[in-house]
Chains A and B, each alone.
Chain A
Amino acid sequence: DQQVKQNSPSLSVQEGRISILNCDYTNSMFDYFLWYKKYPAEGPTFLISISSIKDKNEDGRFTVFLNKSAKHLSLHIVPSQPGDSAVYFCAASARDNYGQNFVFGPGTRLSVLP
């Protein structure tokens, strides 16, 4: 049973528009969430994170929203750029439970069309 779900395997967005990537989780112990971006044949690179004590974190064009009651988070990219085309992984961990590792979602492939 997947604890972290990304139900959209792919998403296409026009350049300049907003990209919204969604992630749902089932484990209520998760208290730290991250988004990673991955290009083909490379390792994931960290994008942005959010702690469960917050409901929003913003870094430049990237904003992550957390809805704890719905066990849902989303990544907004605005404006989207062709270089944003990659696979985006949502990850969650329970940092308060020392030793809990990250659980990754299956990823969403974002294509930003020029």
Chain B
Amino acid sequence: DAGVIQSPRHEVTEMGQEVTLRCKPISGHNSLFWYRQTMMRGLELLIYFNNNVPIDDSGMPEDRFSAKMPNASFSTLKIQPSEPRDSAVYFCASSSGRGGEQFFGPGTRLTVL
């Protein structure tokens, strides 16, 4: 199994641009999570899906952030427009629904100039 796949691994963009982060969960996992990690705020859960349906988006910082999961093998996190304070590492994780163990992807390091 390839594990959770995220792309791109690094993204540098200018303030105001749209950014789309992508995630492919482990095959057979039915839950998907988006996290953001910064030095100041640590690891934050942004949103999670169960069977492709958003269950809890209370961690999404503001309307500039949106996430979709059109099918069981793909999810996107979009920031539009991006701001310098969005600079962080964004992790995607998936879970099979048994016991709660989550498997993390390698992350996308986002830098907004």
- Say whether A and B bind each other: no
